[in-house]
Chain A
Amino acid sequence: MISGAEIVIRCLQEEKVDCVFGYPGGSVLHIYDALFKQDEVKHILVRHEQAAVHAADAYSRSSQRVGVALVTSGPGVTNTVTGIATAYMDSIPMVVLCGQVPTQYIGQDAFQECDTVGITRPCVKHNFLVKDVKDLAITIKKAFHIAATGRPGPVVVDIPKDITAQMCEFDYPKTIQMRSYNPVVKGHLGQIKKAVQILQEAKRPIIYAGGGVILSDAAEKLTQLARKLNFPVTNTLMGLGGYPATDRQFVGMLGMHGTFEANNAMHYADVILAIGARFDDRVIGNPEHFSQEKRRVIHIDIDPSSISKRVKVDVPIVGNVADVLDELLKLLDAGCKTDPEVADWWAQIEEWRGRESLRYRQSEHIMPQFVVEKLYEVTGGDAFITSDVGQHQMFAAQYYKFDKPRRWINSGGLGTMGVGLPYGMGVLMANPGAQVACVTGEGSIQMCIQEMSTCKQYGLPIKIINLNNGMLGMVRQWQEMFYSKRYSQSYVTSLPDFVKLAEAYGHVGMRIERPEDVEPALRKAFTEHKDDLVFMDFIIDPAANVFPMVAAGKGLTEMILAEEL
């Protein structure tokens, strides 16, 4: 017999979890004691529980494993909510273990009690309250199973303190069967055949691929498919890296800040092959405008509720992207004709591409786009790039050409400022020794800046690329364009001296103010200071804006381009 606390740790070992991100407190003391007595599962002590969850989330995003966070009851749990909701919106598998007050105190407003299951219910894939130590191991098994299968998502396990003290036999089930949970994997063959038929008839096709390709580890299969068909490919913000950005067939990201060619190709396509993408409102613009064009839509998604939610789909294929692409490829191999008329479509796309919608104005100041371009060069295009939320995030997405999946780590669905630095920590724990840069802004970085202390403790040499415009730039951009330049509360005064701040935490700080210093500073950071966390405070042109832009309520082709201003 072992204690509930030991069972928790044994479960983590069985799941091959090599590290958890967490923060101790009263209700998890038994678990922390069990953690202390072993060394298979490493623990990263963050400085705020939000960061623990973000780090666990990035651990998942940057690997094929499930990230784990461990927090105490009450405030420990409430601090995790932003992190859980962030993972939920982007379908990231994760297990969050929470302490709870002892069973007999639940419901009595006990010290540090909160209704964890109630508070987290709307932002988890599932959650559990463990009521009997005999259910503990199987519940944790279920949590990992549910988190990682089907459409992935975060799962919370709430564990009362008395359960962690009780003794029980440990028996970890190898597999699990749940009558109420059986996600589909294989797509319906009849539907796939229909899809092949439509793909072959297409005159103006586009492959629109999203986060589901990354989550399904299907990037290579997508590439094979696109090459075979010679169709243009666009990615959502979450899909970047799912198709090599340096490839000729890639037309860039689409959507609110998508390229001219991607948005036009999407809008005017006669056949859309949507793969693990959910027709988000930031992607299709005004739905009425989008639905004006006649087209046929094939949609591959593991979650039936993503299909025909915002855009009517003609051929729904419910299944795992990798499995469905296998079938598609097989059928195409068995008799694929190349359609000559796709050549005209390509000519049209090249014309759109000729607009060079990502060209940006020159300035005596550092332009943020330039920093990202140099970052790409200096890191050989091979770094993990985490980001926060704002203009800097869009610049990173537009100008860092991701050729590989799981390299672009950002919050798309919830758009959570503050994720960047803890995301860097999670990436490094999952990929020791990797190059990691966090492209951030002076607003976002301050939302989890305390994690510089964690980075010091565990030697996590993240390069923080702070695109400092002294503004909540994305807010400022909207105010400039849609609120007659009334800059209500978007100007950040009293910024800290980031160089000194980094030094105070024991790291290296740099301030870069001239365009000609950008590249040398980056080189220095990535070579001389390879093993240091370097806070690079780039003082950028505060007037730089993100283009193209589809304003709220506008159609996908009604883009504002940089050259028009």
Chain B
Amino acid sequence: MRHIISILIENEAGALSRVAGLFSARGYNIESLTVAPTEDESLSRMTILTHGSDEVLEQITKQLNKLVDVVKVVDLSEAAHVERELMLIKVRATGKDREEMKRMADIFRGRIIDVTESTYVIELTGASSKLDSFIAALDAGLILETVRTGVCGIGRGDRILKV
């Protein structure tokens, strides 16, 4: 099962390596990990995308909670939430591909944010599956570079993760 774990952690040097170290030491998998300070600068929020059985997930949340610097942990995917990922993708845009690329970006509600004679950089936000479909829809030979932030997510409505 796919799970999105959100963590509030003290914004201290080494906090990231405690979390990453825990995952590697215990053999849990990390598909993506994003981290940045929150509106309260003393706290960082981390989002981890992982896969595992219910038992493994139970251990992951328990082990994360055990880290002394971790303030709160939730498994977002347990209830209603929204998730987004940002991708920047550089594509070859010459000749007839130039128009085609623009059209594809429009269809997926992407934005072209850098233009040269032969390339575009397209910015695309959405669920990870949408970014996957966009990549799949393009001619692989035209993709020069991709960079993705990894998933971040937030609970819907009154579900709030805060100290």
Contacts and interface: CB of A to CB of B under 8 A. Distances in A.
**3 nearest CB pairs, A to B:** A305-B62, A126-B68, A180-B71
A179 B12 CA distance: 14
Interface centre among B13, B65, B66, by most chain A C-beta atoms within 10 angstroms, is: B66
Contact of A304 (B17, B25, B55, B65): B65
Contacts of A122: 21, 25
Contacts of B71: 179-180
Interface string A96-127: 00000000000000000000011001100110
B68 A117 contact: no
Interface centre among A118, A181, A308, by most chain B C-beta atoms within 10 angstroms, is: A181
B65 to A, nearest CB: 7
B138 to A, nearest CB: 41
A486 interface: no
A129 B17 CA distance: 14
Contact of A181 (B17, B25, B58, B68): B68
B63 A121 contact: no
B59 A309 contact: yes
B83 interface: no
A496 to B, nearest CB: 39
A122 B66 CA distance: 13
Contacts of B65: 304-305
A121 B15 CA distance: 11
Contacts of A146: 68
A220 interface: no
B9 to A, nearest CB: 8
Interface string B3-29: 000000110011001100100010000
A280 interface: no
Contacts of B70: 180
A305 B66 contact: yes
Question: Which of the four size classes fits the interface of chain B?
Answer: 20 to 34
A305 B63 contact: yes
Contact of A305 (B10, B59, B68): B59
B21 to A, nearest CB: 6
B24 to A, nearest CB: 9
11 contacts: A121-B14, A121-B17, A121-B21, A125-B68, A126-B68, A151-B66, A179-B163, A180-B9, A180-B68, A303-B66, A304-B66
Contacts of A179: 71, 163
B145 to A, nearest CB: 31
Contact of A129 (B13, B25, B58, B163): B13
A304 B62 contact: yes
Contacts of B68: 125-126, 146, 178, 180-181
A303 B163 CA distance: 22
A539 B58 CA distance: 51
Contacts, number: 37
Given A121-B18, A305-B59, A305-B66, A180 B10 contact: yes
Nearest to B18: A121
A179 B9 CA distance: 10
Contacts of B69: 126, 180
Contacts of A309: 59
A135 to B, nearest CB: 11
B10 to A, nearest CB: 6
Nearest to A123: B25
Interface in A293-336: 303-305, 308-309
Contacts of B59: 305, 309
Contact of A308 (B13, B18, B21, B55): B55
A181 B72 CA distance: 10
A146 B69 CA distance: 11
Contacts of A180: 9-10, 68-71
B40 to A, nearest CB: 11
Given A121-B14, A121-B18, A305-B65, 20 more contacts: A122-B25, A125-B68, A126-B68, A126-B69, A129-B13, A146-B68, A179-B163, A180-B10, A180-B68, A180-B69, A180-B70, A181-B68, A304-B62, A304-B65, A305-B59, A305-B62, A305-B63, A305-B66, A308-B55, A308-B58
A409 B68 CA distance: 27
A2 B10 CA distance: 30
A319 to B, nearest CB: 15
A123 B13 CA distance: 18
Interface string B43-82: 0000000000001001100110110111100000000000
Nearest to A178: B68
A4 B69 CA distance: 25
B132 to A, nearest CB: 34
Interface in A161-183: 178-181
A180 B18 CA distance: 14
Nearest to B72: A180
A74 B71 CA distance: 32
A337 to B, nearest CB: 35
A181 B25 CA distance: 22
Contacts of B55: 308
A171 to B, nearest CB: 21
